[in-house]
């Protein structure tokens, strides 16, 4: 039977130590050394050559080269990029991590010029660790919050100036409706994202 272990920033002494602890350590090292410090020598050590990203970001390939490109792109946009890991949960060779990313917007991001604003956004991801290397990834991040913080999205308002309900907004990307059930005549503003491939 599989055992679940949870790590809230330090070892949970109530949970038995097993191979899952080693898997969590690999994932944590990626967050703290590669993502936060830009150590791509460590990246090469931690990621399997046949790595597969099941939730690739826009314009990124779902492989090792793609995730390295993504990490470089994020670090160019946020040179002080780092994360606070709130907890990790291991189920065999899969590690789920809930964290908040922080950074200062100093480079272009998804078509938005540097704003020099300090931002933060939450993320949950799952990484499969095989033979000590990260082999697979699934993840979701609160990109809408990030884009709002750097001015890449404008909140829709109704004719009274009040923020519209979720069911009453339109998300327009390059003028195309991709989400929502609102009626254009009812909205004074729109929730507009600047990048044509932004996935929310």
Could you tell me where the DSSP H helices lie in the chain?
19-29, 40-46, 64-77, 143-149
Distance, CA of 68 to CA of 46 (rounded, Å): 12
- Provide mean pLDDT across the span 99-110: 96
CATH topology of domain 4-147: Nuclear Transport Factor 2; Chain: A, (3.10.450)
pTM, whole model, 2 decimals?
0.73
Domain assignments of the chain as residue spans, ordered by start: 4-147, 153-200
pLDDT band at 9 (very low <50, low <70, confident <90, very high): low
- Provide mean pLDDT across the span 85-100: 97
List strands edge to edge, sheet with 133-141. 4-7, 82-91, 94-104, 118-130, 133-141, 47-53
pLDDT of residue 161 exceeding 90: no
Q: In the prediction, which pLDDT does 187 show?
A: 36
pLDDT of residue 7 exceeding 70: no
Q: Which of 138, 135, 111, 134 is nearest to 124 (CA)?
A: 138
Percent of the chain beyond pLDDT 90?
62
198: Cβ contacts below 8 Å, ≥ 6 apart:
58, 110, 143, 147, 152, 173
pLDDT band at 194 (very low <50, low <70, confident <90, very high): very low
């Amino acid at each position: 039977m599989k055992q679940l272990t949870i790590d809230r920033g330090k070892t949970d002494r109530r949970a038995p130590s097993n191979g899952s602890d080693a898997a969590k350590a690999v994932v944590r090292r990626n967050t703290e050394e590669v993502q936060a410090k830009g150590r791509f020598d460590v990246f090469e050590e931690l990621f399997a050559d046949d790595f597969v990203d099941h939730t690739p970001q826009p314009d990124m390939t779902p492989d090792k080269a793609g995730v390295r490109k993504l990490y470089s792109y994020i670090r160019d946009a946020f040179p002080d990029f780092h994360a606070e890991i709130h907890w990790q949960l291991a189920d065999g060779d899969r590690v789920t991590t809930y964290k908040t990313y922080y950074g200062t917007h100093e480079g272009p991001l998804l078509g938005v010029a540097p704003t020099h604003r300090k931002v933060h956004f939450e993320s949950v991801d799952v990484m499969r660790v095989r033979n000590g290397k990260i082999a697979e990834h699934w993840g979701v991040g609160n990109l809408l919050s990030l884009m709002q913080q750097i001015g890449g999205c404008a909140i829709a308002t109704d004719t009274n100036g009040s923020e519209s309900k979720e069911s009453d907004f339109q998300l327009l990307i390059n003028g195309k409706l991709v989400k929502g059930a609102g009626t254009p005549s009812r909205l004074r503003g729109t929730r507009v994202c600047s990048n044509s491939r932004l996935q929310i």
